[in-house]
A and B are shown apart, each in its own frame.
Chain A
């Protein structure tokens, strides 16, 4: 990994444009990059920076409306404009890729064996039995449990992490020079992410493959890469050794990205603060109705969770996918049938139906994860924000509602003029502000925030966190903040509950939980999220 090693992949002045009905859109505007033998290079940038499109263009995978100019050479061979047959001898053999979406990147209709064998047979000319043997060897290499059986499995029978391992096995099948990994861990839980990254690091050490790693996550870059390119709006704004960039960033954008990690903390509320929402032994069970000759199937999504939310408090609920944290949030607001006891300001609201819950709805609000899905696409922003007022303040005139919408939009940092626009005209962060305005306009006392920042870039996330803090302080709001992202929970909440498979693993004041996690699971979670470097080096030393 010295500077003298050979450059194997060289991108020069690459430009990618997409023809759209509204004119050409430049996604990449002249970028130079290179990868040397055995090196791990990260390309980091927020959504829309063009980082993935460079690789798609280089490998001839652009969408049909895309055009590429410039030069990409692999060991001196120009890839741009290379005939497909010739390019096919490099793709999948010398340069391979793994993608972000482990759920859809494998063909659902064929077995794992078939899919790993195909590149082996096409590029290496292996016989069916030789390919099978090699596929088995590869599955062992990527540490898939029970590899013989897995050969016969279909992708839907594997978990997300296992599928990504299969993709890695495929990528390594023909001993490539370069592995391009396009956000390979973004769709995975943090602990799985740490395992996959550890695997990549291990294999790189073993096989000497160069890795070009595309990501938005600076934690991964710091732990994983030798060199970094920082991208913004289709340009490389800064490049250099990882340590240099992290210690001494020169560009404002890089500094902003590095500072975009959520920070700060929330002091706990005094024990004297009144309890607003008190939940006891809440359980949610989903049951699949029994079919013809098939037994009834039950899934306990939430089991016996107890919490009490005080005025001004933020309870963070942390967990990986399938932990039941979102289900719990909905159950607390009686949006799902549940068991147990939920009391709001002295009134038991457990089991209330729609009509009975209606008076309490204005006090108990919710903000959803998906800013693209939670706003009704055919309503104007103004109508979306004031819909709750129609229910809870039916006496308000149209003008008064407009006034309220204007006020609410100002409060979340949007121009009041946008209230006549439609949701599809806004970016993710703006939409989330609209969703918050919809909750705030009712002047609630409790807001359940279900992963409100998860679909957003870090820099946008930071703004939303600031907004939530600001609103909380202004109205003495109480939050239940649900997230898989420990950094955000650490910054926003003063009490943390860690959930796993429907149960509470650990809970306590945020400071305590994050400083000295009591359970092993929480410790793993924290390390994978905050100290990836340590996890990776520990994995490496365990193997050595």
Chain B
């Protein structure tokens, strides 16, 4: 198994390399530069800035320079937040994003699977219809609607929770709800569907025919199979959740790394964008690996290699 993990990680290197290369050149080919926004820069100053950040060199040279630094673990200085390196920016923001995303993930898993199971076991009852309706709501309403509306209701009108800002557990509640809502909905739907299928399967009929108690039929013979689609869904979803959300961070004013990505792209903060892209790509690779390992652990028909 260790060999498998190593091989997968080695196999990820070319993918990451491709993503980095693609993102690097795409960013650079885009019109505009990092210092366009600051008006009235003297030609001399601009030239100096370009020299400091090696922007006066040919593109391929910059590319290899960047790769060289990257190999040493250096993501370079930010072009816009000039007092910070990209490592510092990401290092400050990532824990915030991971905390929020991790909590949302946990909520999604617990609440989503619970709702999905209940709905499947009481198929076509009012509980089932209720869960389905909630799930459709969660999937349909976009987070940039949920976030301000929650903030309006609980922050402004009811003044129960902070409408925005970072600090203390109460400031995390609304962002976590916003992040978790669509995931709860999707997990509930997936579990409901696969659970219904599992409950109808031949081997569950066998379990019933052999007089196994309901808790074993559900807990042992249905739930494990029903988890499989959720596991494969949650891989990419977890990677996305943990690397922050622009919308939630913007609306609630949170210092995560989700914003950097959009701001960086708009400001042509090349290194910051590259740093974010690398973080996201690494998360995607890692979570895909975790999914495959979990899948193999849950399903003996799947083998490593």
Contacts and interface: CB of A to CB of B under 8 A. Distances in A.
Interface in B278-304: 298-301
Given A154-B300, A293-B7, A293-B305, A105 B202 contact: yes
Contacts of A96: 209-210
Contacts of B300: 108-109, 111, 154, 156
A315 B201 CA distance: 40
B299 A119 contact: no
B241 to A, nearest CB: 28
B11 A292 contact: yes
Interface stretch (B148-156, B164-172, B211-219): B211-219
A101 interface: yes
B305 A170 contact: no
Interface in B209-268: 209-214, 216, 220-221, 224-225
Interface stretch (A39-47, A84-92, A225-233, A342-350): A84-92
A109 B202 contact: no
Nearest to B299: A109
Nearest to B123: A64
B205 interface: yes
Interface string A94-127: 0011010100111111110000001100110000
Interface string A151-182: 00010100000000001001000000000000
A59 interface: yes
A256 B305 CA distance: 55
B206 interface: yes
A3 B249 CA distance: 82
B153 to A, nearest CB: 40
B301 A154 contact: yes
Nearest to B3: A293
A119 B221 contact: no
A118 B213 CA distance: 10
Given A107-B221, A109-B300, A89 B211 contact: yes
B213 A99 contact: no
Contacts of B7: 292-293
B208 interface: yes
A105 B206 CA distance: 6
Contacts of A66: none
Interface string B171-214: 00000000000000000000000000000111111111111111
Interface in B101-139: 123
Contact of A122 (B205, B212, B224): B212
B211 A93 contact: yes
Which residue among B206, B220, B221 has the maximum number of chain A CB atoms within 10 Å of its CB? B206
A284 B180 CA distance: 54
Contact of A91 (B204, B211, B216, B298): B211
A108 B300 CA distance: 8
A167 B209 CA distance: 12
Interface residues on B, range: 20 to 34
Given A61-B205, A101-B202, A294 B301 contact: no
Contacts of B221: 107, 110
A110 B223 CA distance: 13
A172 to B, nearest CB: 12
A60 interface: yes
A109 B211 contact: no
Contacts of A97: 206, 209
Contacts of A108: 203, 225, 299-301
Contacts of A107: 203-204, 206-207, 221, 225
A91 B205 CA distance: 12
Nearest to B206: A105
A108 B225 CA distance: 9
Given A109-B299, A154-B300, A104 B210 contact: no
Contacts of A109: 224-225, 298-300
Contacts of B211: 87-93, 119, 122-123
Given A64-B123, A292-B11, A106 B203 contact: yes
Interface string B10-33: 010000000000000000000000
A85 B215 CA distance: 12
Contacts of B206: 97, 99, 105-107, 167
A84 B212 CA distance: 10
A84 B204 CA distance: 15
A110 B206 CA distance: 13
Interface in B25-57: none
Interface string A69-88: 00000000000000011011
A412 B214 CA distance: 51
Interface in A309-323: none
Contacts of B220: 110, 118
Given A101-B202, A104-B202, A154-B300, A170 B210 contact: yes
Contacts of B224: 109
A229 B214 CA distance: 34
Interface of B: 7, 11, 123, 200-214, 216, 220-221, 224-225, 298-301, 305
24 contacts: A60-B208, A61-B209, A64-B123, A85-B213, A87-B211, A88-B211, A88-B213, A91-B211, A96-B210, A99-B205, A104-B203, A106-B206, A107-B206, A108-B225, A108-B299, A110-B221, A122-B210, A122-B211, A122-B212, A122-B213, A122-B216, A154-B300, A154-B301, A293-B305
Given A63-B200, A122-B211, 11 more contacts: A92-B210, A99-B205, A99-B209, A105-B203, A107-B221, A108-B299, A108-B301, A118-B220, A122-B213, A154-B301, A167-B206
By Cβ-Cβ distance, the 4 closest A-B pairs, closest first, are A92-B210, A92-B211, A91-B211, A88-B211
